């Protein structure tokens, strides 16, 4: 069965919770105000697409390809990105809620997270080299055996990173948030 190729389409305000998005290869498409929550987006291919103001919470994204994807103002709670097809995986997030999502063991170099909520997100064993966490909330985010070389955390808040269990060479922090590297020592810093 041939998978249809769909290009340059805009989907506005559609509810894909009852009728799933047609399986296909989507290129340069825009999804605006669509609801995919608790639905199926597995085995889809998205290339150079934009998701704006969509709800993708708890969506099945197994074997899905996300190549050069922009997520903006989206609710994306509980997504398991490690179940996606990681070949050519690239995306950026702006003003998104990614709480309880997982990026376990993924190669996410140069990924941008801008003004995102990343509570209880799993980054264990991921490679985030040269990524940016600009004005992001990282309370209870799991960084374990994570490569954080050259990552910019200067405006991130509420993270806890153990320098002994992560690679953080040339990562950037501000004076205000450096305590996130010392939290395991239970220090009081005035």
Give the separation between CA 133 and CA 86, rounded to whole angstroms.
Answer: 21
Q: What are phi and psi of 140, to 5 degrees?
A: 60, 15
Q: Which long-range contacts (CB under 8 A, 24 or more apart) does 159-164 make?
A: 159/133, 160/184
Give the domain ranges of the chain: 1-91, 102-190
Domain covering 102-190, topology:
Pectate Lyase C-like (2.160.20)
Nearest to 32 by CA among 77, 85, 91, 73: 73
**What is the model's pLDDT at position 188?**
65
**Nearest Cα to 117, choosing from 180, 71, 151?**
71
Residues ≥6 apart with Cβ < 8 Å to 110: 90, 129, 130, 131
Q: Which residues pair with 97 in a beta bridge?
A: 75, 117
pLDDT (tens, 9 = 90+) of the chain, 190 residues, equals 578 999 999 999 999 999 999 999 999 999 999 999 999 999 999 999 999 999 999 999 999 999 999 999 999 999 999 999 998 899 999 999 999 999 999 999 999 999 999 999 999 999 999 999 999 999 999 999 999 999 999 999 999 999 999 999 999 999 888 777 777 767 666 6
Q: What is the pLDDT of residue 100?
A: 98
Tell me whether the CATH fold assigned to 1-91 matches the one assigned to 102-190. yes
The pLDDT of residue 1 is 53
So what CATH class is 1-91?
mainly beta
């Amino acid at each position: 069965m041939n998978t249809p190729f769909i290009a340059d389409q805009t989907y506005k305000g559609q509810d894909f919770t009852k009728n799933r998005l047609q399986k296909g290869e989507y290129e340069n498409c825009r999804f605006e105000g669509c609801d995919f929550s608790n639905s199926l987006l597995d085995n889809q291919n998205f290339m150079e697409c934009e998701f704006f103001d969509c709800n993708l919470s708890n969506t099945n994204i197994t074997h899905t390809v996300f190549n050069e994807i922009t997520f903006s103002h989206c609710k994306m709670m509980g997504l398991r990105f490690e179940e996606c097809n990681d070949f050519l995986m690239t995306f950026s997030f702006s003003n998104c809620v990614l709480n309880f999502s997982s990026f376990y063991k993924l190669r996410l170099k140069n990924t941008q997270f801008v003004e995102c909520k990343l509570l209880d997100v799993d980054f264990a064993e991921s490679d985030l080299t040269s990524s940016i966490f600009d004005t992001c909330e990282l309370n209870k985010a799991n960084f374990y055996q994570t490569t954080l070389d050259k990552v910019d955390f200067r405006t991130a808040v509420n993270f806890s990173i153990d320098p002994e269990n992560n690679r953080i060479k040339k990562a950037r922090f501000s004076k205000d948030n450096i305590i996130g590297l010392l939290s395991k020592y239970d220090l009081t810093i005035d």
